[in-house]
Amino acid sequence: MSKRKRRQLSAEFKARIAKEALEKEKTIQQIAQENDIAPAQVSS
């Protein structure tokens, strides 16, 4: 069994997600689904 590498998120990606969450035009669920991340990783 090979170990799966953890996904590395860039600072630009994190900033974009944070900006989307702060704009409140989309729900946290929508942002998470569009960016293939868990909703717990998105907060406003």
Give residue 1's pLDDT: 66
Residues 6+ apart with CB under 8 A from 13: 35
For helices 11-23 and 28-35, what crossing angle results, to 10°? 150
Select from 31, 30, 42, 37 the least CA-distant residue to 7.
Answer: 37
For 6-35, the pLDDT digits (tens) are 889 899 999 999 999 999 999 999 999 999
The pTM of the full predicted model, rounded to 2 decimals, is 0.74
Geometric angle at alpha carbon 6, from 44 and 33, rounded to 5°:
40
